Structure 1
Amino acid sequence: MQLSVIILNYNVRYFLEQCVLSVQEAILDLDAEIIVIDNNSSDDSCLMMKTRFPEIKLIENKENFGFPKGNNIGVEQAHGRYVCILNPDTVVAEDTFKKILGFAEEKQNLGIIGCKLIDGTGSFLPESKRGIPTPWVAFTKIFGLYKIFPDSKLFNQYYAQHLKENQTGKVEILVGAFMFMERELYLDLNGFDEDCFMYADDIDLSYRALLKKKDNYYFHETTVLHYKGESTVKDELYMKRFQDAMNFFYQKHFKKSFFFSLFIRLGTWFFSFVKMFQGKPRLKPVPETFIFYSENEILVEKMASNFKNKVSFLDLKKEKLVNSFPILKGRRTEIILDNQYVSFKKCINIIETLKDKNITFKIFPKRTSFVIGSDSRNDRGQIVKID
């Protein structure tokens, strides 16, 4: 078997359904399997999987084992030569795995491959490629020096800014939302460290691959949609988790750093101070217009009733160029992409191409009764059920 796609789920039933649908499309012509591990979700994720995807292997953990152990359980039962660790709040393109498999087969001494990730607004996620977070590199990240001096090698290492987002090349650290590697390497590394804190497991695994003299790569020729959620809110809790993660990493691989301990406390104070004046992150304003991008006029009435008669219908047969939509100019608009007629790859491309402060995006996954998306990387996303 070529590939095993490992998806660890916890209470994101609708995102999981969309993710599995996209992965199914992406492995149609491959000798591949999907393994879903559920970490004792309290929603109906498992019921959905058994009902919608009875052919897919589902592992039901009786407690929440966390990210490292949950994925280790899945890989242990995998049969593919390669494994892909994939978050359930992602959408892959139909050719994602074919492209990455082709890239992997060309490489000698392969470590871990990551790909280009964008959020639900179409914005590039810089954590798609990172450097080793030494105390100095972590310092430049916490205080935003990488933004102030993006072209300086001294300050731009955290997000591996020696590579552009549309440039494939070697990097040191990849993100756990999408990690592709040989199963043999994963097992040789003993998988994710089950003692890891949040934010450290993917850093630790990437670094241990480097210690094995393997080459890790950022691959930009496929884009994966990754809805971020509340885990990215930069508040005091984030700083505490970041501190725990870095302390774990340093104590495991380096000497404990007094320098880091000092500046992380300063950073925590700094973020707390800023948050007092920022308040909660604001979502984008309510759209004035909803555009249903499809060929199915019958669904327009359903959409109109669910979106308060604000739905405009755009026929795919007539609208060839998305950028030519006149209704998008200066108006708060939500675009709903009908996956029955628009491939996942094209959905991702439209979201990335049309990213704009006035536009939000949702996908209507094929054979479902909901639309799903995220208007901000600082919230859990939105789901609207279609009656």
Structure 2
Amino acid sequence: MDLSILILNYNTCKLTLDCLQSVFASNTSYTFEVIAIDNHSSDSFVESIAVEYPQVTLIANDDNIGFARGNNQGMKIATGRYVLLLNSDTIVQEDTLQTMITFMDENPTVGASGCKVILPDGSLDKACRRGFPTPSASFYYAFGISRLFPDHAKFNQYQLGHLDPNEEYPVDCLVGAFMMVRQETIDEVGRLDETFFMYGEDIDWCYRIKQAGWGIHYYPRTTIIHLKGGSARRRPTRIIYEFHRAMAIFHHKHYKDRYHWLTNSVIYMGIGLKFTMALLKNKLTRSKRASKPADNQVEVRL
């Protein structure tokens, strides 16, 4: 088997089925298997997939165990030379699998690769090629300095806005929405860190892959569409918490011992402040929605 595609579903039945349709419409000479992991969804995905895609291997969990742990379940039974993490809210192109596997075959020192990821409005999903969130990179990004100097490499260490998204080059990290990883690399560095629930595990994995000496490459010769209409929108408070929790975990794991305790304290305080501001912003947004006339109200499910 050349490729094992892992797709995690959590209450995204329609999106996941559309994603699967695009996968099985691929024009490729390579063999692939699809492993779907359902995190105890309340939708009809488990029943639907058995009817519409019986060739898919299904893992149905009794609880929502998170992105990292769910994908690790898939990796344990994957038989491909490569493993692809693929979000349920993505659409791959006909040539995506062929292009990316060929690239990996031709570049044996590359441990992980990602293609160009496009949002529905045609803009770049900037998370598809990033630098590591070092304290300086995070500072320039969080305080908007990177936006003031979009062509300056020093101030764009995280989102790499100074680099042409249509060119290929090595990067620090990719996005878990589409990440193809060599099985040899997984055997060496291990699977996703399950300390992360649904954010940060992709950056942590890339960090460990680079630490082990493997290359990570952004390869925009093919694209996918990232709809960003998945389960993250359904529980905004939990998502905000997990996002900022992931920041703290990553810093503690990889950077804490490099910096003075005062620097670390400032960083943790900054994460806490950002978390508080994000909660307040979310609360204000919900209050504005609730104050609109009934026929214009938008349901927010937590």
Shift of 1:270: 5.3
Alpha-carbon distance between aligned partners in 2 of 1:177 and 1:207, rounded to the nearest angstrom: 17
Deviations 1:167-212 (A, max 9, x none): 1110001110001011221232221011114321111001000110
Bigger Cα displacement from structure 2, 178-187 vs 257-266: 257-266
Counterparts in 2 of 1:272 and 1:74: CA distance versus 1, 3 Å: closer
Helix, strand or coil for the counterpart of 1:146? helix
Deviations 1:74-116 (A, max 9, x none): 1111111111110111100000011111111121321210111
1:20 partner letter: L
Residue 145 of structure 1: aligned partner: 145
- The answer as to whether partners of 1:82 and 1:181 remain within 8 angstroms in 2 is yes
Runs of 4+ in 1 over 3 A off after TM superposition: 229-233, 235-242, 265-282
1:204 partner letter: D
TM-score for both structures, normalised by structure 2: 0.85
Residue 258 of structure 1: aligned partner: 265
Alpha-carbon distance between aligned partners in 1 of 2:177 and 2:146, rounded to the nearest angstrom: 23
- Point out where structure 2 has 5 or more consecutive residues left out of the alignment: 258-263, 290-298
Residue 25 of structure 2: aligned partner: 25
Shift of 1:246: 1.5
- The answer as to whether partners of 2:241 and 2:275 remain within 8 angstroms in 1 is yes
Residue 65 of structure 1: aligned partner: 65
Q: Relative contact order (C-alpha < 8 Å, sep 6+): which is higher? A: 2
Counterparts in 2 of 1:86 and 1:179: CA distance versus 1, 3 Å: same
Deviations 1:115-148 (A, max 9, x none): 1111222221111111110112112222222211
- The answer as to whether partners of 1:135 and 1:259 remain within 8 angstroms in 2 is no
Deviations 1:293-339 (A, max 9, x none): xxxxxxxxxxxxxxxxxxxxxxxxxxxxxxxxxxxxxxxxxxxxxxx
Deviations 1:361-385 (A, max 9, x none): xxxxxxxxxxxxxxxxxx99xxxxx
- The answer as to whether partners of 1:114 and 1:217 remain within 8 angstroms in 2 is yes
Alpha-carbon distance between aligned partners in 1 of 2:39 and 2:49, rounded to the nearest angstrom: 14
Alpha-carbon distance between aligned partners in 2 of 1:139 and 1:19, rounded to the nearest angstrom: 36
Alpha-carbon distance between aligned partners in 2 of 1:27 and 1:66, rounded to the nearest angstrom: 31
Shift of 1:53: 0.8
Question: For the pair shown, which has the larger CA radius of gyration, 1 or 2?
Answer: 1
Query: Which has the larger share of strand?
Result: 1
Query: Which has the larger share of helix?
Result: 2
Alpha-carbon distance between aligned partners in 1 of 2:50 and 2:13, rounded to the nearest angstrom: 12
Alpha-carbon distance between aligned partners in 2 of 1:63 and 1:278, rounded to the nearest angstrom: 30
Give the share of equivalent positions with the same residue, in percent: 37
Counterparts in 2 of 1:59 and 1:266: CA distance versus 1, 3 Å: closer
TM-score for both structures, normalised by structure 1: 0.67
User: 2:274 aligned with 1:267, yes or no?
Assistant: yes
Alpha-carbon distance between aligned partners in 2 of 1:66 and 1:238, rounded to the nearest angstrom: 12
- Point out where structure 1 has 5 or more consecutive residues left out of the alignment: 283-378, 381-387
Alpha-carbon distance between aligned partners in 2 of 1:69 and 1:229, rounded to the nearest angstrom: 21
Shift of 1:266: 4.2
Alpha-carbon distance between aligned partners in 2 of 1:39 and 1:237, rounded to the nearest angstrom: 16
- The answer as to whether partners of 2:130 and 2:171 remain within 8 angstroms in 1 is yes
- The answer as to whether partners of 1:197 and 1:241 remain within 8 angstroms in 2 is yes
Helix, strand or coil for the counterpart of 2:206? helix
User: 2:53 aligned with 1:53, yes or no?
Assistant: yes
